Amino acid sequence: MRRMKRRVDADRSVDGSDGNGEIRSDLRDLGFGARVTEQSRLRLLNRDGSFNVRRTGLSFVERIDLYHSLLTMPWWRFHLVVFSAYVVLNLLAAAGFMLLGEGALGGIQETTFTGRFTETFFFSVQTFTTVGYGHVFPDGPAANTLVVLHAFIGLMGFALATGILFARFSRPTAKISFSQSAIIAPYRDVIAFEFRIANQRRSQLIDVEARVLLVRNETVDGKTTRRFHNLALERDRVAFFPLTWTVVHPIDEASPLFGLTEHEMRTCDAEFTVLLTATDDIFAQMVHARTSYRGEEILWGAKFADPFVPSDDGILRVDLRRLHDTVEAEMPAN
Amino acid sequence: MRRMKRRVDADRSVDGSDGNGEIRSDLRDLGFGARVTEQSRLRLLNRDGSFNVRRTGLSFVERIDLYHSLLTMPWWRFHLVVFSAYVVLNLLAAAGFMLLGEGALGGIQETTFTGRFTETFFFSVQTFTTVGYGHVFPDGPAANTLVVLHAFIGLMGFALATGILFARFSRPTAKISFSQSAIIAPYRDVIAFEFRIANQRRSQLIDVEARVLLVRNETVDGKTTRRFHNLALERDRVAFFPLTWTVVHPIDEASPLFGLTEHEMRTCDAEFTVLLTATDDIFAQMVHARTSYRGEEILWGAKFADPFVPSDDGILRVDLRRLHDTVEAEMPAN
Amino acid sequence: MRRMKRRVDADRSVDGSDGNGEIRSDLRDLGFGARVTEQSRLRLLNRDGSFNVRRTGLSFVERIDLYHSLLTMPWWRFHLVVFSAYVVLNLLAAAGFMLLGEGALGGIQETTFTGRFTETFFFSVQTFTTVGYGHVFPDGPAANTLVVLHAFIGLMGFALATGILFARFSRPTAKISFSQSAIIAPYRDVIAFEFRIANQRRSQLIDVEARVLLVRNETVDGKTTRRFHNLALERDRVAFFPLTWTVVHPIDEASPLFGLTEHEMRTCDAEFTVLLTATDDIFAQMVHARTSYRGEEILWGAKFADPFVPSDDGILRVDLRRLHDTVEAEMPAN
Amino acid sequence: MRRMKRRVDADRSVDGSDGNGEIRSDLRDLGFGARVTEQSRLRLLNRDGSFNVRRTGLSFVERIDLYHSLLTMPWWRFHLVVFSAYVVLNLLAAAGFMLLGEGALGGIQETTFTGRFTETFFFSVQTFTTVGYGHVFPDGPAANTLVVLHAFIGLMGFALATGILFARFSRPTAKISFSQSAIIAPYRDVIAFEFRIANQRRSQLIDVEARVLLVRNETVDGKTTRRFHNLALERDRVAFFPLTWTVVHPIDEASPLFGLTEHEMRTCDAEFTVLLTATDDIFAQMVHARTSYRGEEILWGAKFADPFVPSDDGILRVDLRRLHDTVEAEMPAN
């Protein structure tokens, strides 16, 4: 099927477009733009899956993306933000209670300004958290009205904070290891571009799908442009993924890599970007992972070593440390 | 593949039906109805993605859609609704405690009706929010039973309110900018209908899919009717969307726009409706965006300007303010 | 495409199997079973979308499906269950405090057993809800330890109750109206099976997909069996669904309804089951709706009336009360 | 369609690869590895759907997967973990209050160290749970500051604990029964591999999809390797699943099981792994189930017994206890 499609592609015009959105040699409509040509030494996608790009030109207000920021900032920063908000809101409330005068709170024992402010702040916290010991308490309508507001803000505020806390904690993410290097390995009668992945999580991934896009410089009519190819995989989807999976792009006549030498690969600023999507067993939700390999991160004439561990207890064991292990392999004469 | 499909379409009957649900010239089964013909000057979809339609005839009860309303009303209104409910429920509870007579609450200091009601209201709030200072407290079975109910309602009520608050805050939405104008640009040997999009959010979108539907007046057998065409895109799906994406509909022989002049486009009340769906990186959930372009919002003989910003730090930069920028382009003689 | 597929189907063996899971005439593998033949007067799917089936043979424990039950029981019952659990848990705790003897709680004023139990129960509630006024309080390690447990159970219990409350409230559901009757209408040169739907919610549905399955009695080799056909739709998916949608199955040569008379339709115990799936605009989640039409609920020689309301304010208006309206239509001579 | 695809497969090279990711005879790229051959007596997937594999080689830190663990551990363990954390955090806080000296808390009545520590611990709990009776209360800035921290930790901690509690309770899961045995049954002119499933939940499943993968030993060129085949199903997807579903793989010329005898099946260490995915009616979310059948768990010459229960009340009844029931069936002479 894919083979058929590729044959169709081969029939297409020189510029490599196939019109079905799968393989495009011209980056214009992908938003990579002409500039990329001059900047082709730049990596588009980093090894850790983050993009090596910035979107500028947004106003400060447009840039604000509060929920996304709160979800993705480091834990120490999240805790700092939430705790600071907690302290600041209670300082504000304490100032409010102070403005109402000395009799606003019953049970205050200190008489200095600092002492009263401190006690008032602690009372605010007891209200905000709904602890409400009651040894200090609001006296009179003004203070009580402020309590009505402050307790409301406390309950709503903690709901937001704890909602985000839990969303951070429970956010469905994949922890997929990619082999340190991609390889060019012997494959049946030809060779293939391969990399290997493993799931580091305890949960299982089902319906795992891999997509590999090649970006590289190409010279057509004497003009070098940056082009983009979707690489056909021998297998682009697996139902189960209990151990490791070697993703394979066979370099046959239909491949844009066909006939390319190791030297050519290194000098065309090739980047292989990888997108994995899957469904997590436990979350029952879609997760994904990204990475990329540069031409110089590819080993020629290698194959992946066996990652299995002998065992006598009837359980298959795979050692994830061996994920990256390769052994030399004899390449077809070709 | 798509090209093949279009060739099949071309083989179809004059009315443009292809029977596979992709391209339909007759709006009847889309619910746009005969009336639309007379109202063809009306926009179906507004620029901001909202539909220019109303569904009437529902009874008041059927129209109520509490959760949807609470999710989508403006923030100020949501806060007003929730705070009002908070005040009203506590006023009701205060009235209940008042009905139980003077001895129902211990610790009340005021003796006037207003004073007692005020203190009782504050006590209700302290119970509802579970602050419970205790300087006022229920005395006797009747008041205590009311407390049992009121604290329960408070906890359940706040759970609803804070749940909706967080659902509003965390609702997965896309913030996609569409280019101000769509353009008719030179494209290979022909011309193409194009528009450009960018993701304004910090999060990445993956698996972005675009669908473009054209609605316009057509005259068949002397009768003008409003017809609808699905426009085949050169690329209708991208795995990554880190920068901008120019969505392209090539106007070749298979396109319903083939041979159309600028004047004809403006006078047939054409509307290009756009639906984008994608998966948000952070939410791991589907998001979408809609917009539409009217015939008069299309620039002929233009192409989109390069949005890239030169940079020396190894990071690709795109300036989102330039998303809308176009430059003049020489059209093929045709 | 679909047309092509149907042609392939026509090439298949008499029993109508196509081997690709799309059209099957034999119900065995759908779990409808031989018995269904004798019970063919029974409706499989009710008008409201519920199935007319029961699964028996599960033990009491296997049958328990607590979360599903709590999500789907009527609101009055849910509130009753939660409130009862609240009262019972506090009665149990009150009994526990009573067992610790008279001095376990400070601040108790009553001396009779009933009075003390009542006060103790109220204290339990104040602990369970974390109101904690403090006019009654635990005295000594035993009572305090019980408080440690009871407050913990209260917080966890309310989290479950309020979680389910919110899950009920926010559960993504569709509110789709189906036309009272399905119709057999003139359609191009032939006739078609049609029904009409509208979205009653304020939110928009996108990517709406319809699937229609026909179940009916068929006599092959003198044996009547109950068979099942997937009906090919002229359009089985719409990107937008702002107004109404008329779902159309053209009764051409490829249709299992081809050549059927009205009388035959009524006497073969036909049932048209309908499944709609869509994505809700607001929830950003998949929703669905089901219904079925029996042979006798089908109007022959009708078409749906125009549901549009004239308007002068530039907004398309559709009157949902007219969803069910049909007008007589002249059928092709055939 | 599937039949067409299989014919294409038949045209492929001896090693059975079809290049489209659907049928692969070589396990290397599925991560089952060479070792599997020697360990082919090992079951890959257990009857209950868990994988019979271990991933080793992760460091202690990499192995930690807190949220997954907390979601999937047994209930008794989850409660133990949460309750222990609750006690330990309050013991720590109590220790903190003790360090501040005797006057830090007002209302403490005991004078012995143990007595004071106990009272302080109970006070900590009252703060942590926000009960806050107030008969014991913080006195002075140091104790109050500790309260500010402890109440904050309590609110955040309980939010995490109750969030996970609810996530556990509401996690979308399927409860699908698989027939005890798979069978080889007569099927039209040939035979078929079949098993039967039923939904044990009260909720309905829609869009149920089945995938069956065969893993077995094969001898090619005198070398025995472990190979893997995707089995084409007569029907791999059903829109509704109200009763039971018999999943059928016809053993025709295109099947890798074609011509296999019962003895051969038992001696090639065959394992049929099954993946079911569906959408739950109530959750509106994807759920799935897995199982596997070994060659020796397959009954030859049987068919599934009718699971229906006679009923007079117009409701179809299926007895789930009969799901596993088979009756002898005459196999075609072949």
Q: What is the residue extent of each domain of chain A?
A: 2-54+173-328, 66-170
With CB atoms and an 8 Å threshold, state whether D170 touches C167.
Answer: yes
In chain C, positions 250-279, which contact chain D (CB-CB < 8 Å)?
273, 275, 277
Q: Which residue of D has its CA nearest to A83?
A: D152
Read off the pLDDT band of C264 (50, 70, 90): confident
Q: Cα–Cα distance between D213 and C190 in angstroms, integer?
A: 44
pLDDT for residue C195 = 95
Read off the pLDDT band of D258 (50, 70, 90): very high
Report the range of poorest mean pLDDT among B139-143, C40-44, D110-114, D228-232: C40-44
Contacts of B248 in chain A (CB under 8 A): 29
Average pLDDT over residues A157-184: 91
Length of chain C: 334
pLDDT for residue B75 = 93
Average pLDDT over residues B47-73: 80
Contacts of B130 in chain D (CB under 8 A): 130
In chain B, positions 10-49, which contact chain A (CB-CB < 8 Å)?
none
Residue C202 carries which DSSP code? S
Average pLDDT over residues A106-129: 93
Read off the pLDDT band of B32 (50, 70, 90): very low
Contacts of A19 in chain B (CB under 8 A): 1-3, 234, 250
With CB atoms and an 8 Å threshold, state whether C319 touches B57.
Answer: yes
Q: Return the percentage of chain A with pLDDT > 90, whole number.
A: 44
Q: Cα–Cα distance between A83 and A94 in angstroms, integer?
A: 16
- Reduced to 3 states (helix: H, G, I; strand: E, B; else coil), residue A130 is coil
From C284's Cα to the closest Cα of chain A, the distance in A is 14
Q: Which residue of D has its CA nearest to A209?
A: D21
Q: Return the percentage of chain D with pLDDT > 90, whole number.
A: 44
Q: What HEC string does chain B produce?
A: CHHHHHHHHHCCCCCCCCCCCCCCCCCHHHCCCCHHHHCCCCCCECCCCCECEEEECCCHHHHCCHHHHHHHCCHHHHHHHHHHHHHHHHHHHHHHHHHCCHHHEECCCCCCHHHHHHHHHHHHHHHHCCCCCCCCEECCHHHHHHHHHHHHHHHHHHHHHHHHHHHHHHCCCCCEEECCCEEEEEECCEEEEEEEEEECCCCCEEEEEEEEEEEEEEEECCEEEEEEEEECCCCCEEEECCCEEEEEEEECCCCCCCCCCHHHHHHCCCEEEEEEEEEECCCCEEEEEEEEEEHHHEEECEEECCCEECCCCCCEEEEHHHHHCEEECCCCCC
At position C244, the amino acid (one-letter code) is: T
Size of interface A-B (CB pairs under 8 A): 214
pLDDT for residue B334 = 53
Q: Which residue of C has its CA nearest to B158?
A: C162
Using an 8 Å Cβ cutoff, are C226 and C213 in contact? no
Residue C331 carries which DSSP code? P
pLDDT for residue D183 = 94
From A317's Cα to the closest Cα of chain D, the distance in A is 5
Report the range of poorest mean pLDDT among A2-16, A252-266, B59-73, B144-158: A2-16
User: Is D306 an interface residue toward C (CB < 8 Å)?
Assistant: yes
- Which chains are within 8 Å of A by 3+ CB pairs? B, C, D
Average pLDDT over residues B279-289: 86
- Copy the structure tokens of residue C123: 């204290």
The answer, yes or no, to whether residue C39 has pLDDT greater than 70, is: no
Using an 8 Å Cβ cutoff, are C24 and C16 in contact? yes
Residue A126 carries which DSSP code? H
Cβ-based neighbours of D31, under 8 Å, separated by 6 or more: A198, A241, A242, A243, A244, A245, A246, A318
Domain C2-54+173-328 shares a fold with domain C66-170? no
pLDDT for residue A105 = 92
Average pLDDT over residues D312-322: 80
pLDDT for residue B227 = 79
- Copy the structure tokens of residue C64: 């328990």
With CB atoms and an 8 Å threshold, state whether B148 touches C207.
Answer: no
Cβ-based neighbours of B269, under 8 Å, separated by 6 or more: B40, B41, B216, B217, B226, B294, B295
Report the range of poorest mean pLDDT among B17-31, D169-183, D291-305: B17-31
Q: Cα–Cα distance between C71 and C170 in angstroms, integer?
A: 11
Cβ-based neighbours of D29, under 8 Å, separated by 6 or more: A234, A235, A245, A246, A247, A248
Give the nearest partner residue to B130 out of D130, D133, D134, using CB atoms: D130
Cβ-based neighbours of A263, under 8 Å, separated by 6 or more: none
With CB atoms and an 8 Å threshold, state whether D240 touches C127.
Answer: no
pLDDT for residue D14 = 25
Q: Return the percentage of chain B with pLDDT > 70, whole number.
A: 86
- Reduced to 3 states (helix: H, G, I; strand: E, B; else coil), residue C272 is strand
Give the nearest partner residue to C316 out of B52, B144, B156, using CB atoms: B52
The answer, yes or no, to whether residue C215 has pLDDT greater than 80, is: yes
Task: Supply φ then ψ for residue C287, to 5 degrees.
Answer: -125, 165
The answer, yes or no, to whether residue C328 has pLDDT greater than 60, is: yes
pLDDT for residue C24 = 35
Q: Cα–Cα distance between C247 and C194 in angstroms, integer?
A: 6
Q: Which residue of D has its CA nearest to A306?
A: D33
From A13's Cα to the closest Cα of chain C, the distance in A is 25
- Reduced to 3 states (helix: H, G, I; strand: E, B; else coil), residue C147 is helix
With CB atoms and an 8 Å threshold, state whether A24 touches B135.
Answer: no
> The domain C66-170 is classified under which CATH number: 3.10.20.30, 1.10.10.60, 3.40.50.1110, 1.10.287.70?
1.10.287.70
With CB atoms and an 8 Å threshold, state whether B134 touches D130.
Answer: no
pLDDT for residue B321 = 87
Read off the pLDDT band of B319 (50, 70, 90): confident
Model confidence over D38-92: pLDDT tens digits?
Answer: 555 677 788 888 887 777 777 777 767 788 889 889 999 999 999 999 999 999 9
How many CA within 13 A on the CB side of residue C3?
Answer: 16
Model confidence over B285-302: pLDDT tens digits?
Answer: 888 999 999 988 899 999
Q: What is the mean pLDDT of chain C?
A: 82
First vs last C-alpha separation in chain A: 26
Crossing angle, helix D141-170 and helix A75-99, to 10 degrees? 130
Size of interface A-C (CB pairs under 8 A): 5
Average pLDDT over residues A48-73: 80
The answer, yes or no, to whether residue C47 has pLDDT greater than 60, is: yes
Average pLDDT over residues D9-23: 29
Using an 8 Å Cβ cutoff, are D97 and D108 in contact? no
Q: Cα–Cα distance between B95 and A187 in angstroms, integer?
A: 83
With CB atoms and an 8 Å threshold, state whether B32 touches C243.
Answer: yes
Q: Which residue of B has its CA nearest to D135?
A: B134
The answer, yes or no, to whether residue C165 has pLDDT greater than 70, is: yes
Report the range of poorest mean pLDDT among B76-80, D4-8, D309-313: D4-8
Give the nearest partner residue to C240 out of B18, B147, B273, using CB atoms: B273
Contacts of A132 in chain C (CB under 8 A): 132
The answer, yes or no, to whether residue A26 has pLDDT greater than 60, is: no
Higher pLDDT, B238 or A128: A128
Give the nearest partner residue to D30 out of A3, A169, A238, using CB atoms: A238
User: Is A318 an interface residue toward D (CB < 8 Å)?
Assistant: yes
Higher pLDDT, D228 or C82: C82
From C64's Cα to the closest Cα of chain B, the distance in A is 25
In chain A, positions 139-158, which contact chain D (CB-CB < 8 Å)?
158
pLDDT for residue C82 = 95
Give D5-12 contacts, CB < 8 A, sequence gap 24+. Answer: D5/A1, D5/D232, D6/D232, D6/D254, D7/D254, D8/A1, D9/D254, D10/D254
Q: Cα–Cα distance between D49 and D51 in angstroms, integer?
A: 7
Q: Return the percentage of chain C with pLDDT > 70, whole number.
A: 86
Report the range of poorest mean pLDDT among A105-109, A215-219, C209-213, D301-305: A215-219
Using an 8 Å Cβ cutoff, are D58 and A199 in contact? no
Q: Which residue of A has its CA nearest to C129?
A: A130
Q: Degrees (nearest 5) of the Cα angle A58, A62, A68? A: 115
From B90's Cα to the closest Cα of chain D, the distance in A is 20
Read off the pLDDT band of A119 (50, 70, 90): very high
Interface test with B, best of C124, C130, C131 (most B CBs within 10 A): C131
pTM for the whole structure: 0.84
Higher pLDDT, D79 or D30: D79
With CB atoms and an 8 Å threshold, state whether A167 touches B170.
Answer: yes
Using an 8 Å Cβ cutoff, are D177 and D198 in contact? yes
Q: Degrees (nearest 5) of the Cα angle A176, A177, A183? A: 130
Model confidence over C93-102: pLDDT tens digits?
Answer: 999 999 998 8
Read off the pLDDT band of A269 (50, 70, 90): confident
With CB atoms and an 8 Å threshold, state whether B166 touches A171.
Answer: no
Average pLDDT over residues A244-251: 92
Instruction: Return the bridge partners of C206, or none.
Output: C240, C279
pLDDT for residue A40 = 54
Model confidence over C117-127: pLDDT tens digits?
Answer: 999 999 999 99
The answer, yes or no, to whether residue C267 has pLDDT greater than 60, is: yes
Q: Which residue of D has its CA nearest to C136?
A: D133
Contacts of A54 in chain B (CB under 8 A): 315-318
pLDDT for residue C40 = 54
pLDDT for residue C9 = 32
Q: What is the mean pLDDT of chain A?
A: 82
Q: Cα–Cα distance between D207 and B265 in angstroms, integer?
A: 42
- Copy the structure tokens of residue A324: 């990256």
- Reduced to 3 states (helix: H, G, I; strand: E, B; else coil), residue A313 is coil
The answer, yes or no, to whether residue A22 has pLDDT greater than 80, is: no
Q: What ipTM was assigned to the predicted interfaces of this complex?
A: 0.80
Residue A300 CB coordination number (10 Å): 15
- Copy the structure tokens of residue C23: 């059209």
In chain B, positions 51-70, which contact chain C (CB-CB < 8 Å)?
51-58, 62-63, 65, 67-69
From A228's Cα to the closest Cα of chain B, the distance in A is 12
Read off the pLDDT band of D239 (50, 70, 90): confident
In chain B, positions 80-99, which contact chain C (CB-CB < 8 Å)?
none
pLDDT for residue D79 = 94
With CB atoms and an 8 Å threshold, state whether D130 touches B133.
Answer: no
In chain D, positions 188-227, which contact chain C (CB-CB < 8 Å)?
198-204, 206-207
In chain C, positions 104-133, which contact chain B (CB-CB < 8 Å)?
118-119, 122, 125-126, 129-133
Residue A102 carries which DSSP code? G
CATH 2.60.40.1400 fits A2-54+173-328, yes or no: yes
> Strand ranges (DSSP E) for chain C?
53-56, 105-106, 137-138, 176-178, 182-187, 190-199, 205-220, 223-231, 237-240, 244-251, 271-280, 285-294, 298-300, 302-304, 308-309, 316-319, 326-328
pLDDT for residue D320 = 86
Q: Which residue of D has its CA nearest to A126?
A: D148
Length of chain D: 334
Residue C45 carries which DSSP code? B
From D279's Cα to the closest Cα of chain B, the distance in A is 16
- Reduced to 3 states (helix: H, G, I; strand: E, B; else coil), residue A30 is helix
CA-nearest of C181, C196, C204, C213 to C287 is C204
Higher pLDDT, C106 or A223: C106
Report the range of poorest mean pLDDT among A59-63, B198-202, D102-106: A59-63
